[in-house]
Amino acid sequence: MRRLGARRERGWAAAILGALALLAFLPLAVQRDDVLNFVFVTLLSITLAQSWNVVAGYAGQVNLGHAAFFGLGALTARTLWIGGTPLAPALAAGALVATAFALLIGVAAFRLRGAYFAIGTLALGEILRTTVSNVLPEISTLPTAAIATYRLSQRYYLALALAALSVVAVALLSASRLGLGMQALREDEEAAEAAGVGALRLKLTALALSTALAGLAGGLFAYYHISYYPSHAFSPSWTFDALLMTFIGGVGTLHGPVLGAVLYVFLKEYLALRWVDFHLLIFGALFVVIVLLLPGGLVQAAARARRLLAR
């Protein structure tokens, strides 16, 4: 289907995938673990931000319980993987559990609109986190045999593949009938319904795609870390990191969350080194400034600059 804007989106998709392809050579060129870890975190963040972008940016449903689906993906994938299931099916199962739970919850949660949906999903995420920290209070550590064979590059390539997958998924979505319907929903649900868009079905589709990606990202997290508290994967910071990255970059665009994730991870590492916990305050302030002055994030800032220069 020929659509306007689709050409520019394709350009961005090609540029981002090109950059990711170049990153495939990084482990060959650089053998430093700190560099690979840094890029790994960036790639994980791109997947997470892009997953949140689907439901919040395209369909306009601000999901503040996103960490729940990341956590479910992590929990399922890790349990199966340590239990002896091969990695790929374990990751797929993580995504499946996250999506199944999302659909179950979504039917009820989508009875809430706007701010109520946001608050409802926030509560849901917290309930799940508390439950997991009570049921599984012990730290989860890989068996010694798995630690002995641990290779960072494998984690790195999986992160790269998932980041590419998330970008391709959103690129396809943004150029499709489905994506157009979601955006109509985001702009005006009542008018979209009047034009034939079935709101609930489309919201559930957006949530399913979003949480499948979040579940995969969770599985990647579980595969990467040697030991962590299971409840950590349910921490609301996964939700708010995704939200900040998406808003900083440009919510509801293909490249915004990618740019946002890169900038966010970079700034976070840099600021955390300099000012330790003070960086949270800086991100809080940055978020307020962006929402008030630049609701379209970096993408909007760039468009404004272009228009200004073209005058």
Q: Which residues bind to other proteins, rule: CB under 8 A?
A: 1-5, 177, 180-181, 183-184, 186-188, 190-199, 252
Smallest gap from residue 268 Cβ to other proteins (A): 29
Smallest gap from residue 8 Cβ to other proteins (A): 12
Q: What is the distance between the alpha carbons of residues 114 and 122, in angstroms, rounded to a whole number?
A: 13
Smallest gap from residue 177 Cβ to other proteins (A): 5
Contact 128, 211 (CB under 8 A): no
Smallest gap from residue 9 Cβ to other proteins (A): 13
* Cβ closest to other proteins, residue 11 vs residue 284: 11
Output the furthest CA–CA distance in the chain (Å, rounded): 64
* Cβ closest to other proteins, residue 3 vs residue 304: 3
CA 29, chain centre distance (Å): 28
List, in order, residues 6 or more apart from 15 with CB less than 8 Å away.
255
* Cβ closest to other proteins, residue 13 vs residue 184: 184
Contact 88, 209 (CB under 8 A): no
Smallest gap from residue 183 Cβ to other proteins (A): 6
* Cβ closest to other proteins, residue 108 vs residue 195: 195
* Cβ closest to other proteins, residue 136 vs residue 197: 197
